[in-house]
A and B are shown apart, each in its own frame.
Chain A
Amino acid sequence: MTSDGTALYVGTLTGTIVALNAEGGRVWKWEPTVEQTGGSLFSCLCAAGGGGQFRAGMFYAPPTVGNGTVYAAGLSGEVYAIDARTGNEVWKHNMETGIVGGVALGNGTLFVGTSDGYLYALDANATPGGGGLKEGFDPFQAEDKIWSTPSLYDGVVYFGSLDHKLYAVDADTGKLAWDEPFSTGGAVTSSPLVVDGVVYVGSFDSKLYAVDAATGRQKWAFDQATNWFWCEPIYDRGVVYACSLDHKVYAIDAESGNMTSSWPGPFDVGSPINSTPVIVDDTLVVASDNGLIYGIAVDTGKERWPHIDLKAKVFAPLCADAGKVYVNGQDNRLYKIDVASGRQDLSASLSD
């Protein structure tokens, strides 16, 4: 789910993209021209417990908005460009392999990582009916799947791979920007966060790394978590907030890599955290896997209001807009939380 200030754009579990206004009213709904059902009976069975409803055309990552266009990449391998105003498809391009991460947009180029381990660049401004690989950019091959959404910073694309490495690739040529990729002790599915020349990325070795964006050298590694870092960390005024599958939110000093002294300790939400949190007006809003929404005061690390139970699992990143936080639940509903009061304002179906 993402917002451009005029509408919310939500990729749904059923493979559609819906544009909604702030009150949950539908602006438009886009569906792929060819129904993308897929997966074997077995894949449906083994994905039970939240995954049984997934389809090959579904969107794991939120869409990206820019230049009046919504870009989304689906598990079916299609990358779509959709007119943000009308919901009409502008172009699509089939990468011929599954896409789990989202797309990064910069300088008229889309960057997308695929399940066959390639980072591709596509021409974002292709004419209607067009769409294709960007000339001059050699697709970069990692050693395993790329499930993290790439991050674009200062002409370099940063992304992680299940091969345990963090890569920095020149956005124009597709060549490795560092002497060698940065190696972690586990798979990297979280999207790298780049702030002030430092890349922050979590890994399956239960560590959060700070890496020099220019050289690829490690600045520090935070190692107090006891499970993987799955989602992207966020940054606010010298503190990196990282959520782990060990149920905890860590506030880490961006300079030293130690837990910030203003928090009494990590904040425990009682279940794994898969979705990237957001900060609204000094409140860190975190969604736990089992649908509990917490508002944590960033200066004290204490709960600002009693947590809200959505009674739906939450995997998707949270989205903030105008003092509200929007949550895309696994029950295919959109929830709106008023951050100031800690109240749930809205619950709207995405499938109607």
Chain B
Amino acid sequence: MAEAKPAASLSDWINLRNVGILLLVILVFLFVAGVVTPVELFNKVLLQPMLNFLIIMSKYLFGSFGLAILVMTVLVRLVTLPLNLRQLRSSKAMQDLQPKLEELRKKYAKDGKRLGQETMKLYKEEGISPLGCAFPMLLQFPIWIALYQSVIQGLAYAPENLLGLSQQLYSWSLIGEQVPLNPHFLWLNLGTGDLAMAFLVGISMWVLQKMSMRPSTDPQQQSMAFVMQWGMPLLFAVMSISFPSGLSLYWVATNLISIVIQYRVTGWGSLKAPSLAGLKERLPWAAGSPAASTRASGKAPDSGAAASDPKVAPEGGAAAGSQAVSGGGESSHRKKVTDGRHRGKRKVRRRSS
């Protein structure tokens, strides 16, 4: 018999999604009523505080705008860390669910309506919100854009940029005195493109993408993974050649922080070089290797990399980014995935295997 649900209290109602929806409704009302325009709101709430803070920081960080960008990047990432972690864990949960979803897709291939119902049912059973990966990411976008704009306007290389900057600054003499900001940092002129920084942007993004990916046997997913892994870093690297290197500095710093967070949550993922033990497990001719034994028993082999990495789930290099793709080869999909509980589950499963 189903248990009676307790009445929802205010504290139950207050969660990220509901608060987000409420804020959205208030904003739409303000925009429609003409109280404030989206640009004004963005400038007042995000851009101006960030820009002015950057300029003040550059004064106290030896007049270095580069150091101010780095500190600001770290602060922004700290503030958005809960969202980031939530997004990573949601993505991983979605990845872990892929085999079950694949089963459903095969089972209800000819009944789209039923497939949708069963998919939603599965999400509910597993406690996963399909928007869980996207929503936290979307919330971070305005912050990233504000930081991007801050760097552009702070450096103010053309007169029109400087005029724009004048309207975003607080009327504190401390701030006005800092303009124009010192564009020199390390070997960089933060206002002009730099080839080395473009390379660093590309390589740091490649590492991050590689960590986010998981092996796949599906050709469609492989090609998508290839595009994500090589196309995105290449695109950003090429753009960074003409971008002011202050932005590249931000991208490199934020990528490095992402790599650390990604490592803490999912380990090295697909980046991990195959160890000798892992290779042995993968080689079909190696005596006693799981590949050989599973071939004999007809079961799919586990990922060698995952088996040799204590931080990587045996499902095979957990994917964390929303762009990550899933692969087959999972040996078990029975665990219920909830935020922050992966590691304990992994240990149990490793022991049992």
Contact = CB atoms under 8 A, between A and B. Distances in A.
A54 B158 CA distance: 10
A245 B167 contact: yes
A263 to B, nearest CB: 22
Nearest to A147: B159
Interface stretch (B129-137, B176-184, B274-282): B176-184
Given A42-B243, A204-B179, A47 B161 contact: yes
Contacts of A242: none
B166 A41 contact: no
A50 B161 CA distance: 10
A186 B179 contact: yes
Contacts of B157: 43
Q: How large, as a class, is the contact surface on chain A?
A: 20 to 34
Contact of B161 (A46, A60, A187, A206): A46
A272 B163 contact: yes
Given A46-B152, A226-B171, A205 B160 contact: no
Interface of A is mostly: loop
B242 interface: yes
Interface of B is mostly: helix
B43 to A, nearest CB: 12
A47 B157 CA distance: 10
Interface string A107-150: 00000000000000000000000000000000000001101000
Contacts of B176: 185-186, 204-206, 228
Interface string A48-92: 011100100000100000000000000000000000000000000
B160 A50 contact: yes
- CB-CB nearest 5 A-B residue pairs: A40-B242, A51-B160, A226-B171, A245-B166, A46-B152
Contacts of A246: 171
B261 interface: no
B164 interface: yes
Nearest to A144: B180
Nearest to B241: A40
A187 B179 contact: yes
Contacts of A228: 166, 176
Nearest to B193: A40
A9 interface: no
Contact of A54 (B160, B171, B177, B244): B160
Output the residue of B171, B193, B239 with the most chain A CB within 10 A: B171
A230 B163 contact: yes
B163 A205 contact: no
Contacts of A258: none
B161 A227 contact: no
A156 B238 CA distance: 48
B288 to A, nearest CB: 57
Contact of B242 (A42, A49, A51): A42
Contacts of B242: 40-43
Interface in A208-226: 226
A274 interface: yes
A47 B171 contact: no
A201 interface: no
Q: How large, as a class, is the contact surface on chain B?
A: 20 to 34
Contacts of A43: 157-158, 242
A320 interface: no
B173 interface: yes
Output the residue of A49, A204, A205, A274 with the most chain B CB within 10 A: A204
Contacts of A42: 239, 242-244
A259 interface: no
A272 B167 contact: yes
Interface string A90-115: 00000000001000000000000000
Contact of A60 (B159, B164, B173, B179): B159
Interface in A137-196: 144-145, 147, 162, 164, 185-187, 189
A205 B239 CA distance: 35
Given A42-B239, A47-B158, A186-B176, 12 more contacts: A42-B244, A43-B157, A54-B158, A185-B173, A186-B177, A187-B180, A204-B176, A205-B173, A227-B166, A245-B163, A245-B167, A315-B160
A226 B144 CA distance: 29
Contacts, number: 68
A174 B311 CA distance: 68
Nearest to B153: A46
A185 B175 CA distance: 10
28 contacts: A40-B193, A41-B242, A42-B239, A43-B157, A43-B158, A46-B161, A47-B161, A49-B160, A49-B164, A50-B160, A51-B160, A54-B158, A54-B160, A100-B159, A144-B180, A145-B180, A164-B177, A186-B176, A204-B177, A204-B179, A205-B176, A205-B177, A226-B171, A228-B176, A230-B163, A246-B171, A272-B166, A289-B163
B162 interface: yes
Output the residue of B161, B180, B239 with the most chain A CB within 10 A: B180
Contacts of A226: 171
A106 to B, nearest CB: 25
A213 to B, nearest CB: 25
Nearest to B247: A42
Contacts of A49: 160, 164
Nearest to B162: A189
A112 B161 CA distance: 22
Nearest to A244: B166
Output the residue of B152, B159, B173, B239 with the most chain A CB within 10 A: B159
Interface in A253-298: 272, 274, 289
A165 to B, nearest CB: 13
A50 B158 CA distance: 12
Contacts of B159: 60, 100, 147, 189
Interface in B158-212: 158-164, 166-167, 171, 173, 176-177, 179-180, 193
Contacts of B164: 49
Contacts of B152: 46
B158 A51 contact: yes
A115 B278 CA distance: 59
Contacts of B243: 42
Interface in A222-254: 226-228, 230, 245-246
B179 A227 contact: no
A228 to B, nearest CB: 5
Nearest to B166: A245
A162 B155 CA distance: 13
